C-alpha cells in the first residue's frame, strides 16, 4: 500500500500526523475529541475521548503539509505476530501508540497531543492498557475497535 501514512511511517525517522487522531494504514484518519474536565469542588479531573470525524491523510495534508511529527518508541508488547509500540512525539507533552505487523509496517497508530510519552503497555484480553511516563494517566484501547478509547487520571 502506497500512501502518505505508510511513507512517513516507513521513513528513516517514523512520523505520524501530529494531532489527536487514529491513523490507519489505508490513509484513513479518525480525528479524536479529547476533553479534560476539572471539578473545583473536589479537585477531580476527568477525561472524555470520542471520535470527532473521519477524514483522510491527503485531506489533512492539503491544508497542513507540515502536520507530521516524529515519534520515538519507548516500549513495546507483542501482539498478533507483530507488536504494539508506545512512546513520545517531538514535544514533551506528546505520546503515541502504534500497532505494527511482523515486518514493521503500520496497521494503525494513535497520536495524543497531551498525554506525555507512553512508558508502559500491556494487553488484557481485548484491551490495550497504556500508562504514561509520569504514571498519572491510564489509556485503555479496545483492540477490536481502536477508536473506542478511555482515559483516566490516576491517583
**What integer pLDDT is reported at residue 2 of this predicted model?**
55
Question: pLDDT per residue over 15-34, tens digit each?
Answer: 999 999 999 999 999 999 99
| pLDDT of 12 higher than 90 | no
Grade residue 84 by pLDDT with cuts at 50, 70 and 90.
Answer: very high
Is the pLDDT score of 109 beyond 80? yes
Which range of residues forms the domain containing residue 32? 4-153
**95 CB contacts (<8 Å, ≥6 apart)?**
86, 87, 88, 89, 111, 112, 115, 116, 117, 118, 130, 132
The enclosing domain of 130 has a CATH number of 2.40.10.480
CA atoms within 13 A on the CB side of 64: 9
Q: What is the pTM of this model?
A: 0.94
Q: Are 13 and 44 in contact (CB under 8 A)?
A: no
Nearest to 111 by CA among 11, 14, 23: 23
Residue 66 sits at the vertex; the CA angle it makes with 63 and 70, to the nearest 5 degrees, is 140
Taken as a whole, the chain contains a residue count of 155
How many structural domains are present in the chain?
A: 1
- pLDDT tens per residue across span 126-150: 999 999 999 999 999 999 999 999 9
Amino acid at each position: 500500500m502506497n500512501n502518505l501514512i505508510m511513507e512517513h511511517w516507513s521513513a528513516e525517522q517514523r512520523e505520524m500526523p501530529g494531532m489527536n487522531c487514529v491513523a490507519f494504514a489505508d490513509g484513513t484518519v479518525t480525528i479524536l475529541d479529547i476533553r479534560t474536565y476539572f471539578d473545583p469542588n473536589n479537585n477531580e479531573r476527568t477525561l472524555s475521548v470520542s471520535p470527532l470525524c473521519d477524514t483522510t491523510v491527503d485531506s489533512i495534508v492539503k491544508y497542513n503539509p507540515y502536520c507530521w511529527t516524529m515519534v520515538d518508541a519507548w516500549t513495546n508488547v507483542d501482539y498478533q505476530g507483530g507488536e504494539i509500540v508506545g512512546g513520545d512525539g517531538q514535544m514533551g507533552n506528546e505520546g503515541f501508540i502504534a500497532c505494527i505487523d511482523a515486518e514493521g509496517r503500520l496497521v494503525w497508530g494513535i497520536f495524543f497531543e497531551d498525554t506525555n510519552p507512553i512508558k508502559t503497555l500491556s494487553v488484557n484480553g481485548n484491551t490495550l492498557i497504556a500508562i504514561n511516563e509520569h504514571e498519572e494517566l491510564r489509556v485503555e484501547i479496545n483492540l477490536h475497535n481502536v477508536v473506542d478509547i478511555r482515559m483516566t487520571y490516576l491517583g
